[in-house]
Amino acid sequence: MVDVADFMSFGEVGTDQMASHIESADMNGDGHQDLIVSAQHSSRSAANGGAIYIINGPIMPSVGGIESQASVIISGTIDQGMAGVSMGTTDFDDDGMDDLIIGASRAGVDGVSTEEAGQVHIFYGDLTDDIGTEDADATIYATLGAQRLGEDIHSGGDIDGDGLPDLVLGSSRLGTHAYRAGGVLVFTGSTERLSGSISADDCDTEISSTQSQMAFGSAVQFIGDTNGDGLDDLLVGAPGTNENGSNAGAAMLYLGDTTLYSTGLSRIHTSANATYHGESGQNKAGTAIVGLNDVDDDGYTEFAIGAPYNDSVATNAGAAYLMIDPDRTGVHELVDAADTVFYGTRSGDRVGESFAGNNDLDNDGILDLIIGAPRVDLDTTSHGAGYVLYGPIADLVGGELGGDDAPEDAAFIGTSTHDYVSHTMLGGHDWTGDGVADLAISAPGYDRTGTSSNSGAVYLFFGRGL
């Protein structure tokens, strides 16, 4: 059970759904990693405006409310904006200090739309005082209504090979070419800071879907170098893709290039170097994606793709596909391209809704993997589970997670009904300062007092050989 965690933090009030996203960075320049947790439905400063909490490292064992544990709180100041639905951290301006990027994908934009256009707020380190999103150093704003700019964010990859970290923003309902088709905006790194209000149209590259309601850009991640050319590559989830039936979903791989992403070009989604289609209708493949690092020592980064509504074993039991040595060009069936597949066991498990990669949980020098299934039922409904698979990841053989002959080595399980444990997970960061990586797991449905429904929680397990 997750309640044996070394550090536990609980959301302020009911409906906050804290730990909707988790990140890590050194936000105050003291040399220690800080834990950053969001609550996208927090109403601290605005109704459902969202909130982001920074807990300065090194973190010691503790149990309590996030409001007393946080060193800095950033409050969303736009009604229904949902600041913290996504976050990213990197040294975006190359000044040696980590920066924080916050997505508020439901925020309205003056003169564009009253809601769901989307804004992305950039805060340059160092952060020491409570502030609001209106105080951001820079804000990127959507130029189309219902665009949902900032639905997902990833930063730190170098897709154009200039040595500077880049930023990618998912805009899952961008309608450049088709109704709510989705898009991805790339802002390449610079030694000059972004400041003030910046139009999303000023991105360096836009990749837009041409299929209506494709949800292209729902998930975005720089996953590392998958083809050995020295450039980071971009993986994009599109769970609304219809190739193998309505909402079968897909993930699309865009290889790094020294010119394509920094020249202001506009591209369409079919320019992907490789596309991996979900097995059948309503699978929603591409809902979750993750880079796994180089788990087989072949010099290439591996990755994983989730399809949490896959029905191969049971309705919405879900599936997780490990891409150890897939074709990196062409169009493929995901189940054929994957080297290993894990399925859910029971109806509604939703295996593959989240991942935590690049972890060494047992401290043996070999990377491990956690696959999230936040709707797993135990004695009652939707406790949630995070299934632990010890490496070598390339040697895993697949199977049905949580079944009678389950392949997992362990599982983090929720403590009560509708906890939704593993909705978000993050590992590979040292928040205690002991030189060993730790693991954070969210439970956005946790009830803090028994009456504060969905206040949420985050559980931190210190890395001493889990």
User: What is the pLDDT at residue 356?
Assistant: 96
User: Quick one: 449 exposed, middle or buried, by C-beta within 10 A (0-12, 13-18, 19+)?
Assistant: exposed
Beta bridge partners of 340: 322
Contacting residues for 189 by C-beta, under 8 A, at least 6 apart? 92, 94, 158, 162, 164, 165, 166, 167
Q: Which two tokens stand for residue 10?
A: 């609980």
What burial letters (b/e) apply to 211-232, b meaning 16+ CB within 10 Å? Answer: bebbbbbbbbbbbbbbbeeebb
Query: How many C-beta neighbours within 10 Å does residue 11 have?
Result: 31
Query: How many residues are given for the chain?
Result: 466
Distance CA 153, CA 34 (A): 19
pTM of the model: 0.96
End-to-end CA distance of the chain: 13
Distance CA 361, CA 466 (A): 5
Is residue 428 within 8 Å of 437, Cβ to Cβ? yes
User: What is the pLDDT at residue 96?
Assistant: 84
pLDDT in tens, the chain (466 residues): 778 999 999 999 988 999 999 999 999 989 999 999 999 999 999 999 999 999 999 999 999 999 999 999 999 999 999 999 999 999 988 888 899 999 999 999 998 888 899 999 999 988 899 999 999 999 999 998 899 999 999 999 999 999 999 999 999 999 999 999 999 999 999 888 999 999 999 999 999 999 999 999 999 999 999 999 999 999 999 999 999 999 999 999 999 999 999 877 899 999 999 999 999 999 999 999 999 999 999 999 999 999 999 999 999 999 999 999 999 999 999 999 999 999 999 999 999 999 999 899 988 999 999 999 999 987 667 789 999 999 999 999 999 999 888 999 999 998 888 889 999 999 999 999 999 999 999 999 988 876 557 899 999 999 875 6
User: What is the pLDDT at residue 273?
Assistant: 98
Q: Which 8-state DSSP code applies to residue 216?
A: B
Q: Which of 357, 348, 289 is nearest to 320 (CA)?
A: 289
Instruction: Give the SS3 label for residue 456.
Output: strand
User: What is the pLDDT at residue 381?
Assistant: 76
Distance CA 422, CA 38 (A): 15
Q: Which two tokens stand for residue 187?
A: 């802002």
User: What is the pLDDT at residue 379?
Assistant: 66
Instruction: Give the SS3 label for residue 73.
Output: strand
User: What is the pLDDT at residue 126?
Assistant: 86
What does R_g of the chain's alpha carbons equal in angstroms?
Answer: 20
Query: How many C-beta neighbours within 10 Å does residue 47 have?
Result: 12
Q: Which of 374, 377, 429 is nearest to 19 (CA)?
A: 374
User: What is the pLDDT at residue 18?
Assistant: 93
Is residue 74 within 8 Å of 139, Cβ to Cβ? no
User: What is the pLDDT at residue 466?
Assistant: 65
Q: What is the largest CA-CA distance in the chain?
A: 57
Is residue 344 within 8 Å of 351, Cβ to Cβ? yes
Q: Which of 156, 186, 193 is nearest to 168 (CA)?
A: 186
User: What is the pLDDT at residue 380?
Assistant: 64
Is residue 310 within 8 Å of 286, Cβ to Cβ? no
How distant, in Å, are the alpha carbons of 10, 254, 292, 300, 399 from that of 225? 37, 11, 11, 6, 28
Distance CA 138, CA 149 (A): 15
User: Quick one: 427 exposed, middle or buried, by C-beta within 10 A (0-12, 13-18, 19+)?
Assistant: buried
User: What is the pLDDT at residue 150?
Assistant: 97
